[in-house]
């Protein structure tokens, strides 16, 4: 997964209701396609207004989908299609004790996932290896840099879908190393 000035959008319910969670293909309803197109149009408008963003690829994460299912989507903005998808962890602070019911926060030390649009910034080598700083663009995630929220891989995140929930992060979107590449 080669990344430079890409755009990450973390949301609840972006692809909600999908009955199929296949590794390379997603079945979507007309309603879901309408929601996707609505979000894609928003992203394209934003990219047109600011040329510093990649105009070809965007990432979308749907936190409504269970963590053991594909919920990180790589979207081709030119051909208007999902080109890859994988598992992504959410923050341990997002757990509420009720299975599938997450909470979200932008507060420092909350260990929660924060929803919203992120610009993918500089790459660096951290404790998890290659990582990308995330700059929160919305009020719901504008503390991302202060919270050290980054996109990174972790060996405990499986590559294939699971029937159970996967490991949690400290608030970062954390993916499998193979998917990360």
pLDDT tens per residue, range 138-173: 999 999 999 999 999 999 999 999 999 999 999 999
Query: Residue 1 falls within a domain, yes or no?
Result: no
Question: Look-up: residue for tokens 């995330």?
Answer: 134
Distance CA 35, CA 27 (A): 14
> Alpha-carbon dihedral of residues 35, 36, 42, 44, nearest 10 degrees?
-160
State if pTM tops 0.85. Answer: no
How confident is the model at residue 170, as a pLDDT?
96
Per DSSP, the three-state class of 48 is helix
Give pLDDT, residue 82: 86
pLDDT given at position 14: 40
**Residue ranges of the chain whose pLDDT lies below 70:** 1-8, 11-36
Return the pLDDT at 36. 65
Per-residue confidence (pLDDT) for residue 50, from 0 to 100: 79
pLDDT score for 103: 94
Residue 105 resides in a domain: yes
The rounded mean pLDDT for the chain is 83
Tell me which residue range forms the domain holding 65. 7-180
- Residue pair 68/89 in contact (Cβ under 8 Å)? The answer is no
Say if 2 falls within a structural domain.
Answer: no
Counted domains in the chain = 1
pLDDT at 33: 60
Please count the CA atoms within 13 angstroms of the CA of 36 that sit on its side-chain side. Answer: 25
What would the two tokens of residue 171 be? 């608030």
Distance CA 152, CA 157 (A): 11
DSSP 117: E
């Amino acid at each position: 997964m080669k990344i430079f000035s890409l755009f990450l959008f973390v949301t609840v319910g972006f692809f909600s209701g999908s009955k199929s969670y296949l590794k390379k293909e997603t079945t979507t309803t007309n309603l879901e396609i309408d929601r996707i197109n609505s979000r894609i149009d928003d992203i394209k408008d934003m990219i047109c207004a600011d040329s510093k963003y990649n105009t070809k690829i965007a990432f979308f994460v749907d936190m409504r989908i269970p963590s053991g299912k594909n919920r990180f989507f790589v979207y081709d903005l030119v051909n208007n299609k999902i080109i890859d998808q994988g598992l992504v962890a959410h923050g341990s602070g997002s757990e509420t004790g009720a299975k599938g019911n997450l909470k979200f926060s932008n507060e420092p030390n909350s260990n929660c996932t924060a929803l919203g649009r992120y610009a993918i910034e500089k790459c660096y080598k951290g404790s998890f290896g290659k990582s990308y700083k995330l700059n929160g663009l919305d009020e719901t995630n504008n503390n991302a840099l202060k919270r050290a929220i980054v996109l990174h891989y972790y060996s405990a995140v499986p590559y294939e879908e699971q029937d159970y929930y996967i490991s949690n992060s400290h608030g970062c979107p954390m993916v499998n190393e193979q998917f990360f590449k």
